[in-house]
Amino acid sequence: MKTNRCKQMMVRGASYKQAKFAALAVALLLGLANGATVYADTGDQWTSACVAGLENNGGRGSNAATAYCGCMAKASDQFGGELPGLLAVMASPMVSKMAVFEAQSLTNKKIISTCVKRVEEVFGVITEQSATDIDQPKGIWGDPDVIEAIHSIDFSASQAKVFKSAATDFSNDLRKATARILRDDSDTRRRVKKTQRFLLKRMDEKMFAVLASNQRPRYQTFSQLLLEKIKESVRIGSADLLDTNGIPGGYSH
């Protein structure tokens, strides 16, 4: 009896959230259609930074940056969005915008998606290449958990370059070594696991040389997660598990 009641409460809760976002979509569409410019209660500073980020980096909504940023600011105020996260997406270069978007909360993702849709309905779709047109990260480097773990390390700009290089070397070396073992060795499983650990340790050593002490625990969490994702991908036979196109350049200050 209690179980059924809980399920009913969860369904009502989900329906309420969907109704809230539907109402938001209608309100935003009417506001944009009337040419209204919406600003956050926190003032014009956030909106100005958002507009500058969009205009400098391009992407969907940058042809109506003021309306797009105003929409997100108002939605964040009404629905408990996180303005720093929204700004991080808008200020990201095209090559890393999708990775930063995937690291956002569900609320932020809904705000971004709803606002860009409404802006495009009113102002038209931008003709230049958008973030969704770029080859999306595949395999492990496109995994949301891995992206979030990398984001949490909080690399500096110089550390991000080291990470990009170390992760690329690791991916390429492991892919080549695994292919060689599968081709030549009868004791495949043991050697694949041994090679994974050896190459990951080499990558870890490169990163520990440049990380601050407070970053190391977060990096170790990422490293352990990465190894688990690799093991899982090998088990299911994923062909794109080490696609280096998805390796982010870190998240710089």
Question: According to DSSP H, which parts of the chain are helical?
Answer: 2-33, 44-57, 65-79, 83-90, 94-102, 106-123, 144-153, 157-184, 188-208, 216-236
For the chain, the domains span 2-132, 139-246
**Does the global pTM surpass 0.85?**
no
Positive or negative: CA dihedral 36, 41, 44, 48? negative
Average pLDDT score over residue span 152-172: 88
Q: Is 3 helix (H, G, I), strand (E, B) or coil?
A: helix
* Whether residue 10 has pLDDT greater than 70: no
134 vs 128: CA distance, rounded Å: 11
Dig out the tokens for 205 from the structure: 């050593």
Positive or negative: CA dihedral 25, 103, 17, 7? positive
* Whether residue 42 has pLDDT greater than 50: no
pLDDT, position 50: 92
More confident residue, 121 or 213: 213
